[in-house]
Structures are given as C-alpha cells and as structure tokens.
C-alpha cells in the first residue's frame, strides 16, 4: 500500500519532487503506542527515499488508528503537511498456477508371438 500525494520538494534531495508516500516498519506497543517509518519517493517504484523519518503514534491518534492502515497515511500526511491524492491498496495475491494436466498413458498392444 502507498499513497499518491500532490508533488512536494524533498528535503534530502531538494532538486527532486516527491509524489509518493510510503509507510512501513510499524512497531506496536499494544494498547499504548506505535512507531513507524515514512518515506517520500519520486514515483511508485518507492525507492530511493527522497525524504524519510519516523512518527510516534500515541494517545488519541493511537486510539483512532484501530485496524485501518489508511489512517496511518492520512495521519502522516497531516503531520507532514501533505495532500493525499489517492491511497493505493496492495495488489491482491496472484492466483496459484494451475496444476499441469498429467500426460495420457498410451498402452502399446502386446506383440503377437507366432509360433
């Protein structure tokens, strides 16, 4: 999952423009807080990071997170002064490859023995 954002100048590489926000490495202290990394990237390839940091989610912000990871993106954008254009979910897993069909067994007729 990642978020497309309105373009912004990146702090690590000021000549570069970031258009993608990535949230990763979420570490949770259950019932109390969470810490996670964020990165701004130039495109959907998600590397290299043009700007990055961490956010500590505590108190009401932690309580509002629940199980909706979209919240991490909207909260991060709010903290960084970014505008999200679209949150892009992870692609669904590819279906398993079909099992190859077994090759038919062709039995040869037994040779005729004359005698």
Instruction: Quick: pLDDT tens for 21-79.
Output: 999 999 999 989 999 999 999 887 766 888 899 999 999 999 999 878 899 999 999 99
Q: Please, which residues have CB within 8 angstroms of residue 91's CB and are 6 or more apart in sequence?
A: none
**73-100: average pLDDT:** 89
Instruction: Quick: pLDDT tens for 18-30.
Output: 999 999 999 999 9
pLDDT on residue 115? 59
Q: How far lies 2's CA from each of 37, 88, 112, in Å? A: 13, 5, 71
In this model, does residue 13 exceed pLDDT 80?
A: no
**pTM for the structure as a whole:** 0.75
pLDDT on residue 17? 87
**98-104: average pLDDT:** 80
**Domain map (residue ranges) of the chain:** 2-88
In this model, does residue 102 exceed pLDDT 90?
A: no
């Amino acid at each position: 999952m990642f978020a497309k954002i309105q373009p912004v100048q990146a702090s690590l590489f000021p000549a570069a423009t970031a258009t993608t926000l990535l949230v990763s490495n979420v570490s949770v202290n259950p019932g109390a807080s969470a810490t996670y990394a964020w990165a701004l990237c130039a495109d959907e390839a998600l590397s290299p990071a043009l700007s990055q940091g961490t956010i500590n989610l505590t108190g009401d912000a932690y309580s509002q997170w629940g199980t909706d990871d979209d919240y991490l993106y909207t909260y991060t954008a709010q903290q960084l002064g970014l505008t999200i254009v679209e949150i892009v979910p992870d692609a669904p897993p590819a279906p398993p490859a079909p099992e190859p069909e077994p090759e038919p067994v062709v039995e040869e007729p037994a040779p005729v023995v004359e005698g």
